[in-house]
Amino acid sequence: SQTIHQWPATLVQPVGSPLSLECTVEGTSNPNLYWYRQAAGRGLQLLFYSVGIGQISSEVPQNLSASRPQDRQFILSSKKLLLSDSGFYLCAWSRDRGYYEQYFGPGTRLTVT
Amino acid sequence: EDKVVQSPLSLVVHEGDTVTLNCSYEVTNFRSLLWYKQEKKAPTFLFMLTSSGIEKKSGRLSSILDKKELFSILNITATQTGDSAIYLCAPLDNDMRFGAGTRLTVKP
């Protein structure tokens, strides 16, 4: 069966510091991968998706970036965090973009101070 | 612009009550609609609805889609405290477009 991992589970970082969140998927190959952010009391906002290694599409302009160095690895990064980057970050995978349900990892709660 | 509206935003009921959660949407290139349950962390998948008028059922939960009127409902019968969660609907075109969710609280 498929499993999706995210780490760290929680993170407190000062403004201006860099960020790296990692997501890995087991039990499937060539998954579609997604990064979402959920602000308090809000729905999920799609940040990035990837259909393959090195292929990243951004949904919203921001100071975050994503990379997919391996088939089942997805990384969310920032060079300098802003207060507004605080939130709950979720990674998800699906079999085929636009046709199948997505399955979510446990999430990372980021607090920028 | 895509729009997804869920109502009510929050709901408090007692165990045994039946609840109906609503989701209306405006999405170009609509393919299907998904419902998720989010407790403390990751949303967990409940249903994917593709065709109008066909009810999907899982235990005490059921859901139906109306593609003409652009809405879906999620019903939970005989609610239990374990049903307390945020319920998210997400129409799917190429990507999922999430609503803000309905926060359901079931009191003993």
Where in chain B are the domains?
A: 3-107
Tokens at B27, concatenated: 């999405």
Residues of B in contact with A45 (CB under 8 A): 98
Of B31, B43, B45, the CB nearest to A99: B31
> Where do the structural domains in chain A lie, given as residue ranges?
3-112
- In the CATH hierarchy, which fold is given to the domain comprising A3-112? Immunoglobulin-like (2.60.40)
- B94 close contact with A: CB closer than 8 A: yes
What's the DSSP call for residue A32? E
- Scan for tokens 């780490």, then name that residue: A7
Instruction: With a cut of 70, say whether residue A61 has pLDDT above it.
Output: no
Confidence of residue A82 (pLDDT cuts 50, 70, 90): very high
Rounded Cα distance, A28 and A24, in Å: 11
Q: Quick check: bond before B8 cis, omega within 30?
A: yes
Confidence of residue A97 (pLDDT cuts 50, 70, 90): confident
Neighbouring C-beta atoms of residue B29, cutoff 10 Å? 10
Q: Which CATH superfamily is domain B3-107 in?
A: Immunoglobulins (2.60.40.10)
Q: First vs last Cα of chain A: how many Å apart?
A: 38
Question: Tens of pLDDT along B53-99?
Answer: 899 999 999 999 999 999 999 999 999 999 999 999 999 987 888 99
Where would I find the beta strands (DSSP E) of chain B? 3-7, 10-14, 19-26, 32-38, 43-49, 56-58, 61-66, 71-76, 85-92, 102-107
B30 by Cβ neighbours in 10 Å (0-12 / 13-18 / 19+) ranks as middle
Flag if A102 and B41 touch (Cβ within 8 Å): no
Residues β-bridged to residue A74: A23
Question: Tens of pLDDT along B10-43?
Answer: 999 999 999 999 999 998 889 999 999 999 888 9
- What per-residue confidence (pLDDT) applies to A113? 96
- A99 close contact with B: CB closer than 8 A: yes
State what percent of residues in chain A have pLDDT above 70: 99
Residues of B in contact with A90 (CB under 8 A): 42-43
Instruction: With a cut of 90, say whether residue A1 has pLDDT above it.
Output: no
- What per-residue confidence (pLDDT) applies to B41? 83
- What per-residue confidence (pLDDT) applies to B27? 87
